């Protein structure tokens, strides 16, 4: 099929920052794109050829949108899977598949999938409602501490809480959930696996993620991870096993823990471009967004090696600010060598909202990490 400067149409469900960054490359290749998002102000609205406002969880809306395109992809998991199943039956190619999304959308189903496919993961218990957890603790079936996770609609630190005592349960929503063993770990790692529609596979280098202690959001993504080669190889093999089990097409970001005993266990996955791959725009030969396109279009995969070491810093809304966004001291960070800010185009800031990211590249990963700290302390995402 001719994708370039042709009548071919690529549909993207979701018009957030990931969609916007995919569109950098559809523009480069002159691929006609249609984007559906619930917000008329979505970051991707300006870069696509056709923009539609609509609910991604509404069956009719997604089916009607999908019928207009040749291939449909996503930049967010929370979409109507029944609609995708209908579109697949009607011959629309959907990547990742409805089957993969159905498994991943629900954290309980996702964890059962790992168990069924012998993929290492933390032990867990599944509950129809959070209110059942108290009984499980009283009856000895569950012990503090554990990690509570909402089965649906959790993201960016939402829907996750470490429960150390009864009072930690009080404000949690009464929803389907899992209680997961709290694993002592040395590092949080991630590997992005790229697989095209012909079954060809490539992995990006293992990255290390440093989290904000309160917001449970990634603060820094460091590539390459500062770990021994044998641990990196182990993480890569676990990621490849996970990707093979899903038989996915596109990118699969596999988030993992390196335990105190140097075991690698899978935390969760995302079947799309991912925060842990943003560094690749500046640091890799082929960035994750171009690679996602190559995967879903069945094109040859690009080189996943890094040209240079990279650290990514998330730009999130400062805690006490809500309103029209202002990026304070952005000129100061742009004066630093190897620093590139990416502003997502969200006009309104609120505490911990992802507003952009900054990549720092350097031949020396430790130097890049030092500059990243400086960037983090200098720039502020506030309101006017």
* Helix (H) or strand (E) run with residue 51 in it: strand 50-53
CATH 3.30.565.10 fits 185-383, yes or no: no
Query: What's the confidence (pLDDT) of residue 157?
Result: 63
Query: What's the confidence (pLDDT) of residue 140?
Result: 85
82 known member of a binding site? no
Nearest C-alpha neighbor of 256 from the set 246, 248, 264: 264
The neighbouring-strand residues paired with 94 are 72
Token pair of 16, please? 């957030």
Query: What's the confidence (pLDDT) of residue 19?
Result: 97
Token pair of 78, please? 């929370």
**Side-chain half-sphere of 3: how many Cα atoms within 13 Å?**
18
80 known member of a binding site? no
255 known member of a binding site? no
How far is the C-alpha of 40 from the C-alpha of 346, rounded, in Å?
Answer: 11
Tokens 């997961």 identify what position?
180
The structural domains of the chain, with segments of one domain joined by +, span 9-95, 123-181, 185-383
233 known member of a binding site? no
Query: What's the confidence (pLDDT) of residue 330?
Result: 98
The reported pTM is 0.95
50 known member of a binding site? no
Tell me the three state secondary structure of residue 311. strand
What are phi and psi for residue 40, nearest 5 degrees? -70, -15
Question: What pLDDT, in 10s, does the model give residues 290-349?
Answer: 999 999 999 999 999 999 999 999 999 999 999 999 999 999 999 999 999 999 999 999
CATH topology of domain 9-95: Rossmann fold (3.40.50)
Query: What's the confidence (pLDDT) of residue 190?
Result: 98
Which segments in the chain show pLDDT lower than 70?
155-157, 215-216
76 known member of a binding site? no
How far is the C-alpha of 237 from the C-alpha of 191, rounded, in Å?
Answer: 10
181 known member of a binding site? yes
247 known member of a binding site? no
CB 162, CB 182: distance < 8 Å: yes
180 known member of a binding site? yes
CATH classification for the domain delimited by 123-181, as one of 3.40.640.10, 3.30.1280.10, 3.30.1490.20, 2.40.50.140? 3.30.1490.20
């Amino acid at each position: 099929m001719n994708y370039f400067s042709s009548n071919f149409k690529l549909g993207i469900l979701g018009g957030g920052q990931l969609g916007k960054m995919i569109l950098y490359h559809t523009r480069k290749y002159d691929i006609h794109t249609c984007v559906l998002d619930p917000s008329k102000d979505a970051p991707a609205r300006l870069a696509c050829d056709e923009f539609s406002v609509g609910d991604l969880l509404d069956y009719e809306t997604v089916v009607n949108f999908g019928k207009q395109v040749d291939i449909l992809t996503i930049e967010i998991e929370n979409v109507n899977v029944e609609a995708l199943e209908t579109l697949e039956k009607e011959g629309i190619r959907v990547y990742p598949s409805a089957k993969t999304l159905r498994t991943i959308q629900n954290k309980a189903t996702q964890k059962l999938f790992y168990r069924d496919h012998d993929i290492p993961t933390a032990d867990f218990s599944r509950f129809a409602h959070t209110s059942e957890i108290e009984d499980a603790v009283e009856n000895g079936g569950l012990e503090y501490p554990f990690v509570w996770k909402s089965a649906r609609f959790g993201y960016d630190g939402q829907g996750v809480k470490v429960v150390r005592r009864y009072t930690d349960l009080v404000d949690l929503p009464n929803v389907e959930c899992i209680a997961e063993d709290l694993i002592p770990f040395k590092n949080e790692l991630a590997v992005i696996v790229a697989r095209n529609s012909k079954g060809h596979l490539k992995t990006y280098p293992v990255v290390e993620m440093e989290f904000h202690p309160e917001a449970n959001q990634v603060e820094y993504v460091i590539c390459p991870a500062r770990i021994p080669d044998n641990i990196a190889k182990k993480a890569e093999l676990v990621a490849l096993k996970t990707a093979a089990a899903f038989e996915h097409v596109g990118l699969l970001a596999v988030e993992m823990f390196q335990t105190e005993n140097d075991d690698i266990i899978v935390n969760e996955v995302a079947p799309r471009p991912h925060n842990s791959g943003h560094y690749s725009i500046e640091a890799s030969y082929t960035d994750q967004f171009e690679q996602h396109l190559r995967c879903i279009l069945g094109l040859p995969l690009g080189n996943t090696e890094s040209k240079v070491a990279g650290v990514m810093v998330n730009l999130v809304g400062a805690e006490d600010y809500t309103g029209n966004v202002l990026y304070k001291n952005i000129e100061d960070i742009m004066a630093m060598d190897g620093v590139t800010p990416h502003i997502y185009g969200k006009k309104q800031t609120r505490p911990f909202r992802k507003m952009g990211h900054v990549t720092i590249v350097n031949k020396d990963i430790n130097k890049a990490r030092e500059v990243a700290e400086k960037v983090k302390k200098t720039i502020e995402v506030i309101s006017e």
